[in-house]
Amino acid sequence: MDEKKEFTPSIIYGLCSWCGTGGSETAGAMHLQYADNIRPFRVPCTGAIDPVYILRALIEGADGFAVSGCHPGDCHFDSGNYRARRRMAVLKTLLETFGLDSERVWLRWVGHGEGKRFADTANEFNDHIKKMGKNPLAQRRDT
Amino acid sequence: MQTLIDSRMTMPDFIAALFDKLDLAGVAAMTKLPSGEKAAYTLLTDKDDIEDCVPYFPAMPANAARAVSKFTRQAPPSKQVAVFLRPCELRALTELVKIKQAAVDNLLIIGFDCAGVFPFSKIRLSDELKLKEYREAVAKGKNCEGIRPVCSACTRFVPEGADIAISFIGRNLDEPLVLSFPSEKGKEAAKTLGLDSSSKVEASPAVDSLAEERGGAEKKLTEKIEEALSGTDGLISVFDKCISCHACSHVCPICYCKNCYFESQTFEYFPESYFTRMREKGALRLPVDRVLFHLGRLSHMGLSCVACGMCEDACPVNIPVSQIFKTAGAKAQALFGYIPGKNRDEPLPLLTFSERELEEFED
């Protein structure tokens, strides 16, 4: 049996209270489906996501971590998403430096009204992580 | 390039002149301890104590920026204090000023070229042989055997942002000091000290030769660390020895948080949490969160890391922490073209942004 086919990744989806969550609500209103192994994680703003949250998820068992929030210029707090972008850039660079998969972390803007974009992102990320397979860091018991 | 002048004063003369001519509250510099074996960063207020002053002593028991932060954090000193700082200590101070943990008002910052320091446990004041080797290496502009690994790969060994800069690479330590005055405050102090620019001195070629040697060493260090850390296995094997003492963050000049996130209640789990995690993975190594601590700390302060090497010096299990932080920090800093400790007025990268940037990191 092909092991990868059976693999259901564990995915955390960080969503800001305004646009990211709003996108998921719109997707719900439109009756759009997305993979049920994706666990939404609501934060006040993408700028409030400390890279430590993502690292911790990746070390403790998540196979992927996606982040969605307001498009640049739309942040409820004016500039939180710009900070998020800088932090994500730093995090991805650090992961890259250590030879870890920076591809397990995604940042994609989803507006409040973009229900389709939300569901598509969730499914696309799910497929992407399925293709990548299990996160080796999460398998380790000696971290 | 700053104009270098011959001050016609040796180090003790210079410190005495600081006391005599400038109205100082004190001088902060490395000073011999009564035991006669070690030195510590000390605030001296009495001119009679200056014979114990050894600003060049190649050791860094603590990054002096932390000490300066202690006495300037709430308010600048009411009377001027002259502080001797190594270039990396000065860079750390600059970063601390940006996060409002130190003030440079009423400080007269005296920086000097740094030929590196030895690990603190490896150097004694009575170790004539080692100190002689060090002096020779300084005069020749070469790396001295045995200095901290990050020191031997440090290319920023000339002070940036000092009021008075002492040029000493390629020179004899007992000779009169060769000075330059990069700031207005420094120029004013020079006038008060009665120093004129009449006797100019050439820059020593040893500075360039040391920069070249260090540049090569830096490249090698980066390659070595990247190779050792590559992938999950490499990362975990490097941090395998970590005993979670957090000494690296306690001595770090940049880690200023009074309540460190990694020592907060967040990491005081309920007992049940351990069993849940254990069941998930089949076993759980204790103490937990070692890799998370290092990667997390790196993501918090890596952008400001000045590569002073304190963390590695304090590590009881010899993890090359500062080499790792220097390597990874430089990668993160390069994203924003940010050079920590370069310019007091440049904002920290995470406190600023531009609307169109880093779009390659969006997916």
CA distance A41 to B22: 60
Confidence at residue B196, expressed as pLDDT on a 0 to 100 scale: 76
Rounded distance between C-alpha atoms, residue A37 and residue A83, angstroms: 28
For residue A32, the domain's CATH number is: 3.40.50
Q: Which amino acid is at B213?
A: E
Q: What is the ipTM of this complex?
A: 0.93
Give the structural domain span for A135: 8-139
- Give the DSSP H/E element, type plus range, for residue A116: helix A115-132
Q: For residues B61 and B117, state if they share a domain.
A: yes
In the sheet where A105-107 sits, what is the strand order? Answer: A38-43, A11-16, A64-68, A105-107
The vertex-B1 CA angle with B159 and B114, nearest 5°, equals 25
More confident residue, A6 or B316: B316
Q: What is the mean predicted confidence (pLDDT) over B84-92?
A: 95
Per-residue confidence at A3, pLDDT binned at 50, 70, 90?
low
Report the alpha-carbon distance of residue A65 to residue A105 in Å, rounded.
5
The reply to whether B220 falls in a domain is no
Q: Which of A71-85, B164-178, B190-204, B250-264 has the lowest mean pLDDT?
A: B190-204
Q: Give CA–CA dist B95/B348, Å, rounded.
A: 8
Instruction: Look at residue B97 and tell me whether its pLDDT is greater than 70.
Output: yes
Q: Which of B160, B180, B215 is the last residue of a domain?
A: B215
**Residue A87 CB burial class (10 angstroms; 0-12, 13-18, ≥19):** buried
pLDDT at B302: 95
Residue A67 host element (H or E): strand A64-68
Nearest Cβ partner of A87 from B277, B289, B350? B350
Whether A127 has its CB under 8 Å from any CB of chain B: the answer is no
* Domain containing residue B54: 4-215
Residues B139, B65 within the same domain: yes
Tell me which of B215, B236, B253 is where a domain ends.
B215
pLDDT score recorded for residue B286? 87
- Residue where the block lists tokens 């971590």: A65
Task: Tell me, yes or no, if A89 comes closer than 8 A to chain B by beta carbon.
Answer: yes
3-state secondary structure B161-195: CCCEEEECCCCCCCCCCEEECCCHHHHHHHHHCCC
Q: Look at residue B234 in the predicted model and tell me its pLDDT.
A: 92
Q: Which chain B residues have a beta carbon less than 8 Å from that of A99?
A: 226, 229-232, 234-235
Kindly state whether residues B194 and B311 are assigned to the same domain. Answer: no
- Whether cis (ω within 30° of 0) applies to the bond prior to B287 is yes
Q: Who among B232, B280, B327 is closest to A136 (CB)?
A: B232
Nearest C-alpha in B relative to A72: B355
- Looking at the fold, whether B46 and B173 belong to one and the same domain comes out as yes
B35 within some domain: yes
Q: Are A52 and A87 in contact (CB under 8 A)?
A: no
Answer whether residue A2 is part of any domain. Answer: no
User: Which spans in chain B are helix H?
Assistant: 11-21, 64-72, 87-98, 128-140, 149-152, 184-192, 205-229, 231-239, 247-251, 271-281, 290-301, 310-314, 321-336
> Per-residue pLDDT averaged across B344-357, rounded?
92
Does B222 fall in a domain? no
Does residue A3 lie within any of the structural domains? no
Total number of domains in chain A: 1
Residues B193 and B258 grouped into a single domain? no
Contacts of B232 in chain A (CB under 8 A): 99-100, 136-137, 140
Shortest CA distance to B149 belongs to which of B319, B300, B29?
Answer: B319
Please give the tally of structural domains in chain B: 2
Strands B178-180 and B164-167, bridge-based pairing: antiparallel
Q: For residues B285 and A55, what is the distance between their CA atoms, to the nearest angstrom?
A: 18
pTM of the entire structure?
Answer: 0.93
B248 and B146, same domain (yes or no): no
Same domain, B181 and B276: no
- Distant-in-sequence, close-in-space partners of B169: CB < 8 Å, separation ≥ 6: B113, B115, B138, B141, B157, B158, B204, B206, B207, B210
Residues of A in contact with B240 (CB under 8 A): 142
* Tens of pLDDT, residues B15-65: 999 999 998 999 999 999 988 889 999 999 988 888 889 999 999 999 999
H/E run at residue B83: strand B80-85
Name the residue type at position B86: R
Residue of A60, A104, A143 to mutate, testing the B interface (most B Cβ within 10 Å of its Cβ): A143
Q: Does B223 fall in a domain?
A: no
Residue A40 lies in a domain: yes
Structure confidence by residue, pLDDT tens digits, B164-221: 999 989 988 888 899 999 999 999 999 998 887 778 888 889 999 999 999 999 999 9
Q: Please give the residue of chain B at the shortest CA–CA distance from A140.
A: B281
Residue A100: list chain B partners with CB under 8 A: 231-232, 235
Q: pLDDT band at B1, cuts 50/70/90?
A: low
Among A73, A11, A76, residue whose Cα is nearest residue A43: A76
